[in-house]
Amino acid sequence: MRGRDFLAVSDLGREELLQILDSASQFKRGLDPGLPLARRSLALVFLRPSNRTRVSFEVAVHRLGGHPIALFDREIEMGRRESVADVGRILDRFVDGLIARIPSDRDLRGLAQAMGSPVINAMTDLSHPCQVLADCLSVQEQVGHLEGARVTFVGDYNNVCRSWIEATQVVGLDLRVVGPPGYLPDPVPNPVQGAGRLLVTSDPGLALNDTDVVYTDVWTSMGQEEQHEDRRQDFGPYQVNRQLLALAPPRAKVMHCLPAHRGEEITDDVLDGPQSVVFDQAENRFWVQMALLWAIFQGPEESP
């Protein structure tokens, strides 16, 4: 995927996705990725808070020999001090790529159009592809295989959930999305890959009874803070606590993209319990993003 943008999981084909996971595993096991970003600078535009995404990308850019430049809203005031497209046109004159966390997916695509160099989606309100790409590696490691793995997303049909559905369409997972009526995908998207299956339900027992992974995320995403009270009420029965986890087989792993709102979507005893793999999961953000950067900046040239 040399020179390409990565704006959504569906930008990847099945082989490309599996290749990135394979490179990530090899880097994790000690393979030297070299310095494909030597003498290159990448801008990281973060209009929303971040711990994992920004730090793991900054460190990965540095590890590959590049120079990361983090920019925050207070500095560039994108769309206010300057139009989104103009920000892109200017950055493109200075840097070799852009990693952007911005609320609007449309703005992200506008930036990508304004820039000739590659743009990576570090999360919008619509999707979080880097998160789910890294989570695919965690599923592979924890379950033993990715394709056909039974992953149950418990909670809101949000950016992370949307990227999970795209992953199902690319590599053929057995994905279940379970949440309260009114917060579920409607209409239910259609998985296209051979082994891909998608179940959307409000019945946790149905979704969890043979699952390999119980995955959750916050009920109130960034930007939805004014809905917090309503959401706390509506999602209450879907808290990942000991009772809900007991609906899944004991071998099931608990995953969460983090940050967790402890005591809301997940309880401390589950997040810190023996089935939880959330900190190993978070570490994989680094390895997979390093593999993604490698594929974009060092991977084989593509024929036009």
158 binds ligand NVA (CB under 6 A): yes
Shortest Å distance, C-beta 190 to ligand CP: 27
User: Segment contacting ligand NVA (CB under 6 A): 18-26, 133-141, 176-184, 217-225?
Assistant: 217-225
Q: Where are the beta strands (DSSP E) in 155-220?
A: 174-178, 197-201, 213-216
Radius of gyration (Cα) for the chain, nearest Å? 19
The catalytic residue among 162, 176, 231, 285 is: 285
Contact residue for ligand CP among 131, 152, 158, 281 (CB under 6 A): 131
Give the residue ranges of DSSP H helices in 29-83: 52-63, 73-76
239 binding partner (options ligand CP, ligand NVA, none; Cβ < 5 to 8 Å by kind): none
User: Segment contacting ligand CP (CB under 6 A): 80-88, 171-179, 232-240, 256-264?
Assistant: 256-264
User: Segment contacting ligand CP (CB under 6 A): 21-29, 172-180, 192-200, 253-261?
Assistant: 253-261
**What's the CA gap between 3 and 244, in Å, rounded?**
44
C-beta separation of 2 from 298 below 8 A = yes
23 binding partner (options ligand CP, ligand NVA, none; Cβ < 5 to 8 Å by kind): none
Shortest Å distance, C-beta 181 to ligand CP: 27
Query: Residue holding tokens 């402890």?
Result: 262
217 binding partner (options ligand NVA, ligand CP, none; Cβ < 5 to 8 Å by kind): ligand NVA
258 binds ligand CP (CB under 6 A): yes
- Which residues between 51 and 90 bind ligand CP (CB under 6 A)? 51-53
- Which residues between 35 and 54 bind ligand CP (CB under 6 A)? 50-53
281 binds ligand CP (CB under 6 A): no
What are the backbone dihedrals phi and psi of residue 72, each rounded to the nearest 5 degrees, phi first?
A: -115, 165
Q: What is the dihedral of CA 73, 76, 78, 81, to 10 degrees?
A: 120
Is there a catalytic annotation at residue 275? no
**What's the CA gap between 226 and 83, in Å, rounded?**
27
**What's the CA gap between 204 and 177, in Å, rounded?**
9
163 binds ligand NVA (CB under 6 A): no
**What's the CA gap between 276 and 272, in Å, rounded?**
6
Contact residue for ligand NVA among 105, 166, 217, 265 (CB under 6 A): 217
Q: Prior bond to 68 cis, omega within 30?
A: no
Is there a catalytic annotation at residue 130? no
Is there a catalytic annotation at residue 257? yes
Is there a catalytic annotation at residue 128? yes
- State which residue, 53 or 220, has the beta carbon closest to ligand CP: 53
C-beta separation of 212 from 144 below 8 A = no
Q: How many residues does the chain have?
A: 304
Contact residue for ligand CP among 100, 161, 175, 257 (CB under 6 A): 257
Contact residue for ligand NVA among 159, 169, 239, 276 (CB under 6 A): 159
Q: Where are the beta strands (DSSP E) in 92-144?
A: 97-101, 119-121
Report which residue type is found at 204.
P
Q: Where are the beta strands (DSSP E) in 40-149?
A: 41-46, 67-72, 97-101, 119-121
Report which residue type is found at 249.
P
SS3 at position 242: helix
Catalytic residues: 101, 128, 131, 217, 257, 285
Binding site for ligand NVA (CB under 6 A): 158-160, 217-218, 221-222, 257
Binding site for ligand CP (CB under 6 A): 50-53, 123, 131, 257-259
